[in-house]
Structure 1
Amino acid sequence: MFIHKVDEDVSLKLIELRDADRVFNLTNNSRNYLRQWLPWLDFTTKLEDTQEFIKMCLKDFAENKSINAVILFKGEIVGIAGFNRINWSNKTASIGYWLGEEYQGNGIVTKVAKALTSYAFNDLKLNKVEIRAAVGNLKSRNIPERLGFINEGCIRQSEWLYDHYVDSVVYGMLAHEWNNH
């Protein structure tokens, strides 16, 4: 089981099947908001879709390929964050996150991304952490920028978003940079 306390109000807990109702409802309630930047909303239309997602997350966690956690804010699930993939041979990880619309603007994801980055370097002993965000997704891009990640460039048309491609900015942080800032 993965549990990581970020601060008094925020923590991360490995996603579990018993979280499915809350995660699905949070997704459903923020569907239009999340759909602006996340490509999977049309594939998550019923509770069973969220349950299948959680099963996949747990399988990947058991196989040491990723860590997907629920974000708890004052004890309530408010989003998902974690390492979408961990590449052990290259010692890299990619952080992903989303937050229910009503919880935006509280600094939650910045705290979570900072905690995950520290965990990657200090506990997992990785060398690099990446965060990718669509060029136009300024709220998401602000997070790695606030944390001092380096803008490593733009990947053109990297993601299909329902009816169009979006370009993604790749942000990177190296272990020695993180531990020296």
Structure 2
Amino acid sequence: MNATTLIRPGREALAGYVAALRGGWSPANVAGDAVVRAHLAAIERDADAFLGSLHDPEARGAPITLPDGSSVPRLPAYTRWIWDGEFCGAIHLRWQDGTEALPLHVLGHIGYAVVLGKRGRGHATRALALMLPEARALGLRHVELTTDPENVASQRVITANGGVLLGCFRKEAAYGDAEGLRFRIML
């Protein structure tokens, strides 16, 4: 197995991304099926535009549609694909310039998802470790990540990278008003 790295989404890895989507994987932990359909449709319409949309540090893209159908302004953000010689998953970083604060509808600065056949190999732990210096370079002093209480694997990834549990919280109604856990990693 090759070492886990992060790559900017591009044509050379797009086939692996599409195969993962068609195989039932989603880069989003909420509204997964809708995201899969939207991404496949966008790739079919214009693959280069889709790839470009995954790197938007100026928040120039269209507003974001939340799982409940409401719309909110886009934050600066970008995606990196997790790579070990083939596509393993995705990790996303989002922020607001000049502050660590996030709007209530944003569940955390960093989110990640690993394809089923690549889980349990340390890819998420390594991907998060690689993303933290990028967050620091943006001027963030800490990042917050959230997970569901039953997602023990994700909690291990976060704590392996220095995450400290801040406590339980109730997700916005757009995300089903469910309970979540909030962690902080100091940068």
TM-score between the two structures when normalised by the length of structure 2: 0.71
Question: What residue identity is the alignment partner of 1:44?
Answer: V
Q: Which residue of 2 aligns with 1:95?
A: 110
Does the residue aligned with 2:80 lie in a helix, a strand or coil?
A: strand
Distance across 1 between alignment mates of 2:27 and 2:149? 15
- Residues 78 and 92, structure 2, Cα contact 8 Å, conserved in 1: yes
Superposed counterparts of 1:64-79, under 5 Å: 65-73=76-84, 75-79=85-89
Partner residue, 1:138: 152
Alignment of 1:82 with 2:92, yes or no, is yes
Q: Is the 8 A contact 2:162 2:186 kept in 1?
A: no
Which deviations, in whole Å up to 9, do the C-alpha atoms of 1:88-120 show, x marking residues without a partner? 210467111101000001011101111211332
Aligned counterpart in structure 2 of residue 150 of structure 1, from 139, 164, 169: 164
* Aligned twin of 2:36: 44
Give the match's secondary structure for 1:44: helix
Between structures 1 and 2, the one with greater strand share: 1
What residue is the counterpart of 2:53 in the other structure? 56
Which residue of 2 is the match for residue 170 of structure 1? Answer: 182
The aligned length equals: 160
SS in 2 for 1:68: strand
The gaps in structure 2 that reach 5 residues or longer are: 61-75, 102-107
- CA distance 1:21–1:61, shift in 2 (3 Å): farther
Instruction: Classify 1:35/1:167 alpha carbon distance in 2 versus 1 (closer, same or farther; 3 Å).
Output: farther
> CA offsets per residue over residues 119-153 of structure 1, 9 Å max, x none?
322x3332111111122222112211222211112
C-alpha distance in 2 between matches for 1:127 and 1:105: 29
- Post-superposition CA distance 1:64-84 (Å, at most 9, x none): 9112011111x211110130x
Per the alignment, residue 119 of structure 2 pairs with 104
- Unaligned runs of at least 5 residues, structure 1: 1-7, 176-181
